[in-house]
């Protein structure tokens, strides 16, 4: 019987062949696309495998070099501690000298006392010898080594403390970075390749209560708007008009980052300051007394929530930032060498804004916090 093709009637064999050829043409094109896509995927896979193999080799060499460095430096570091043994030996020699001198002096004193107790006839015999021996005794013949050795010990302890800080900093950095959670999160962009990062754990970046405005209450790693003015001493380093507080630590070299969470009890709470809240970096020399603007001109690089309820950068024009989602946790990245501070959404890893700070002239930079709205708390 006849074979239907759609609504068409029976076609001769030639027309059927043409029809099939027409149907095959797009399939051939699709096949070509699939083959090209597979070739591209294979090439990409091979490139990734090569990169991964090279990276594995690089990591292996790096770990070996770190281990070799530790093996090489261990005798040097422990050698510093061996200085203590040398100091012990110097102290031992000095103490032995003092013991001998004490014994000689005690013998001289005993002989002199016995001479004084002799009868008059015997007393004058050899008296000149006794007088000469007493006069010839040199007071302070043994030099004290304690000040010099204590100075050497202080220098040694300072060196060790410096090395310990470096080791602990890198340990903390590795422990915080090499985690399964970090592996599953998007990569942070914007850091120059090969740059050395120094992690500053949030525990170290806490508000410094000695700088806090009396309306701010600092507790551990948090700062909040207090119900009433605190009975703080009016010291030179305290902000007296602006609702600011600085972080405890200061930076002038290296690359550092920390995160701050923002908790707002009520969005409609009264705003008492120039902004609802602000987070960033400030110069150590930032003004503490009187009023000022939150701006780079004042030595403050910050972003936060304006009195209009917008997330902005605090500079001359208060640039409004567009966010994918409400900002709950902010990451501050400070690069002292590049003289820039970058703000990121800590949850999405999106870069929000970067300030170029310009010449700092060796100035120390400190974390900066501003609270101008009731019910706001910042957590480091």
Q: Are 203 and 172 in contact (CB under 8 A)?
A: no
In the chain, where are the structural domains located? 74-143, 216-379
The C-alpha atoms of residue 369 and residue 78 are separated, in whole angstroms, by: 42
Query: How far apart are the C-alpha atoms of 111 and 114, rounded to whole Å?
Result: 5
**pLDDT value of residue 286:** 93
CB 211 within 8 A of CB 370: no
pLDDT the model gives residue 195: 37
Beta bridge partners of residue 167, listed in sequence order: none
Query: Which of 147, 183, 333 has its CA nearest to residue 254?
Result: 333
Q: Which of 346, 355, 353 is nearest to 260 (CA)?
A: 346
Which CATH number is associated with domain 216-379? Answer: 2.60.120.920
What integer pLDDT is reported at residue 175 of this predicted model?
67
Q: What's the whole-model pTM score? A: 0.50
| Contact (CB, 8 A) for 130 and 115 | yes
Q: How many CB atoms lie within 10 A of CB 219?
A: 11
- The stretches in the chain having pLDDT less than 70 are 1-12, 84, 115, 120-125, 128, 130, 132, 135-143, 145-146, 148-149, 152, 169, 172-173, 175-204, 267-268
Name residues whose C-beta falls within 8 Å of residue 83's C-beta, 6 or more positions apart in sequence: 152, 156
Instruction: Write out the H or E segment, with its range, that includes residue 275.
Output: strand 275-283
Question: What is residue 202's DSSP assignment?
Answer: T
Q: How far is CA 6 from CA 3, 11, 19, 20, in A?
A: 10, 12, 12, 14
């Amino acid at each position: 019987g006849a074979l239907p093709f759609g609504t068409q009637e029976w076609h001769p064999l030639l027309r059927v062949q043409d029809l099939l050829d027409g149907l095959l043409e797009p399939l051939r094109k699709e096949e070509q696309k699939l083959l090209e896509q597979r070739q591209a995927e294979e090439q990409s896979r091979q490139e990734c495998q090569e990169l991964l193999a090279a990276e594995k080799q690089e990591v292996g060499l790096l770990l070996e070099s770190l281990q070799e460095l530790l093996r090489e430096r261990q005798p040097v570091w422990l050698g510093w501690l061996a200085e203590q043994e040398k100091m012990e030996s110097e102290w031992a020699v000095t103490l032995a000298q003092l013991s001998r001198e004490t014994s000689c002096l005690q013998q001289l004193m005993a002989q002199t006392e016995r001479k004084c107790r002799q009868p008059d006839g015997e007393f004058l015999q050899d008296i000149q010898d006794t007088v000469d021996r007493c006069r010839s005794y040199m007071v302070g013949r043994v030099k004290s080594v304690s000040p010099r050795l204590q100075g050497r010990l202080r220098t040694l302890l300072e060196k060790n403390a410096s090395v310990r800080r470096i080791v602990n900093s890198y340990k903390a950095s590795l422990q915080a970075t090499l985690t399964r959670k970090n592996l599953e999160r998007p990569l942070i962009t914007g850091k120059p390749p090969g740059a050395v990062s120094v992690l500053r754990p949030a525990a170290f970046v806490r508000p410094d209560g000695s700088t806090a405005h009396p309306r701010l209450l600092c507790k551990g790693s948090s700062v909040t708007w207090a119900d009433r003015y605190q009975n703080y001493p009016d010291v030179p380093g305290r902000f007296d008009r602006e609702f600011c507080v600085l972080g405890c630590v200061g930076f002038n070299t290296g690359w550092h980052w920390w995160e701050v969470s923002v908790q707002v009890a009520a969005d409609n709470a009264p705003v008492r300051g120039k902004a609802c809240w602000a987070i960033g970096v400030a110069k150590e020399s930032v003004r503490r007394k009187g009023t000022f603007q939150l701006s780079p001109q004042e030595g403050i690089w910050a972003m936060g929530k304006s009195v209009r309820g917008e997330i902005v950068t605090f500079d001359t024009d208060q640039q409004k930032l567009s966010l994918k989602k409400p900002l709950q946790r902010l990451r501050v990245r400070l690069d002292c060498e590049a003289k820039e501070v970058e703000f990121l959404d800590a949850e999405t890893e999106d870069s929000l804004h970067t300030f170029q700070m310009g010449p700092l002239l060796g100035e120390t930079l400190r974390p900066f916090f501003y609270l101008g709205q009731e019910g706001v708390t910042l957590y480091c």
